[in-house]
Amino acid sequence: MIILGLDPSLSCTGWGVIRSEGSRLAHIANGQVKTDAKAPMAQRLAHLQTELALLIAQYLPDRAAAEEIYLNKNPQSTLKLAQARGAVLAACGAAGLGVNEHAARLVKKAVVGTGAAEKAQVQAMLKILLPGAVVAGADAADALAVAIADAHLGPREAAR
């Protein structure tokens, strides 16, 4: 099973693709889709959707997994995150790809063993679970963690 993990963000959306065969995991690819902060919102969202559609077409995942939205203290930040997440989910939906959604605490618990894990702990576990993988950055690491968590949580009914 090929799983596309996603860490949506307006400025830099992380993505990671893994293969899951039983309890065995293998890294396929990872990266980050950045948008131009000076571009109009519609162009930024279109860029995210287009880039994700290209990734889906290239890697042909069986399903996707995304981190659930969290509420910031700043409502504007939450709104921008929600819009970016909408563009990412729309790309998955347009490709007919089901998406499982996971809370950040659940992702950390599945990867590290505790929902209160720090980013450094998650990144250290990625090195163990995906040996030899060169991670493109913190957002790509988060996306790989989402994919791994989805693999560990097992097959579920993915939202379509």
Binding residues for Mg(2+): 7, 67, 139
Cross-strand pairs, 101: 66
From 51, 67, 101, 142, active-site residue: 67
Q: Note whether 16 and 144 are within 8 A (CB).
A: yes
From 101, 139, 142, 150, active-site residue: 139
Distance CA 143, CA 159 (A): 18
Buried b (16+ CB within 10 A) or exposed e, 74-95: eeeeeebbebbbbbbbebbeeb
Q: Note whether 29 and 16 are within 8 A (CB).
A: yes
Q: Annotated catalytic, 7?
A: yes
| Residue numbers belonging to the annotated binding site | 7, 67, 139
**Residue 56, C-beta contacts closer than 8 angstroms, at least 6 positions apart:** 4, 64, 91, 92, 95, 97
Q: Note whether 20 and 133 are within 8 A (CB).
A: no
What residues are annotated to the active site?
7, 67, 139
